[in-house]
Amino acid sequence: MKKALFICTLLTVLVGCAIKQPPRATFKREHKENHYEKLFQQADSLFSVEYGL
């Protein structure tokens, strides 16, 4: 009985730790979006200066 309880507790802790980790792909995707957004803002400001808008 104690072994079964210990195994269930151990599995619960392992599953809980695995679920709380943030997905790494989401972080990379957000970084790329921010990078492209920054490039777009730079290009937009250069265009505005060039054509006086």
Question: Where are the domains positioned within the chain?
Answer: 24-53
What is the residue-level pLDDT of the chain in tens, covering all 53 positions?
888 888 878 778 777 766 656 666 666 666 666 778 888 888 988 888 878 76
CA distance 48 to 41: 10
The alpha-carbon radius of gyration of the chain (Å, integer) is 24
Q: Is the dihedral of CA 39, 42, 47, 50 positive or negative?
A: negative
Confidence (pTM): 0.37
22 phi-psi bin (left φ>0, alpha ψ -120 to 50, beta other): beta
